[in-house]
Amino acid sequence: MSNTSEKIAIAPMLDWTDRHYRYFMRSITKHTTLYTEMIVADAILHGNRDKLLGFDGSEQPLVVQLGGSEPHKLAQVAKICQNYGYKEINLNCGCPSDRVQAGRFGACLMREPDLVADCVKAIQDATNCEVHVKHRIGLDYNYDYEYLANFVQKISATSSKKIIVHARNAVLKGLSPKENREIPPLRYDFVYQLKNDFPELKIMLNGAIKTNEEITQHLKIVDSVMIGREAYYNPYLFADFDQRYYADKSTPKTRYEIACEMINYLSQVQENGGKLHNVTRHMIGLYHGCKRAKIWRQQLTTQLIKSNNLDDYIRLVEFVEQE
């Protein structure tokens, strides 16, 4: 079942939203919905499933994002995901990378709304999970609201009642994935119009959302928002989200409390043969905007990588908190 009170989610980001990052963000916000990185269906069928799909129970609410375009494979993979404990499955129809296009999934699927609907239906038939799609507002330099609305209509004809819309086009040739997040203009108005035309759908807006002021404005029109890069570069932005958006009565944690809470987790990772940097690389933005943010970043990306010493991390935490 969907999280009916959902207001905020952190976007699936390749090489970033792994289980270490998600554990870190759960120390900051308990209610914000988290997403896995996009996981290709074939990787789950033939790869290390525990590594790809494993998660700590504290990470819920957590959504797995899948990449694929073959309904029968997605149905198989969806069953596996459900067995791992996932309650929501998202299909990626927004990634513009060449590698993803070569596999005939990601943003290029917006050309094939019937196939996307078949994929969604196959997952729905195979599981009890809520299934939804994350997509762009269009392809290349064609800004056509009717094209977008037709795509959404086909998806909503299944029993899927939620969509996530990145409010930019995906340019499939000539722009890198990074450029695709920056160059195509934002068209929030297209997403707002979708909410007007499909009031029965729960619509989540994604695209360059960075401040509480922006979130508040968007939530006047759409149901929820998804935050991407800002959640990684400035994770402490989320410190009061539980109170602000979910009526949680707890007190927001300080940066120091969060950094200290991670010590036990870092110790566990080290005991299991992992490197501290596998976790701390996701924590570089914790002191964003603070006096000693530069020292924090530098030490996490130099000294701690060399030493892999938890005591060095503890000393750093104490140092950045000094007046």
d(CA 111, CA 102): 14
pLDDT in tens, 159-186: 999 999 999 999 999 999 999 999 999 9
Q: What kind of architecture, by CATH, is found in domain 8-246?
A: Alpha-Beta Barrel (3.20)
What's this model's pTM, rounded to 2 decimal places? 0.96
Give yes or no for residue 106 having a pLDDT over 90: yes
Give yes or no for residue 102 having a pLDDT over 80: no
Share of the chain above pLDDT 90, in %: 95
| The pLDDT of residue 100 | 83
- Spell out the domain ranges in the chain: 8-246, 255-320
Catalytically active residues, by annotation: 95
Give yes or no for residue 195 having a pLDDT over 60: yes
Write down the CATH number for the domain with range 255-320: 1.20.120.1460
**Angle of helix 113-126 versus helix 145-156 axis, rounded to 10:** 30
pLDDT in tens, 23-64: 999 999 999 999 999 999 999 999 999 999 999 999 999 999
Name the least confident of 93-107, 136-150, 276-290, 305-319: 93-107
Name the pLDDT band for 98 (thresholds 50, 70, 90).
confident
| The pLDDT of residue 1 | 37
* Tokens found for residue 117: 């609907």
| The pLDDT of residue 103 | 74
| The pLDDT of residue 115 | 97
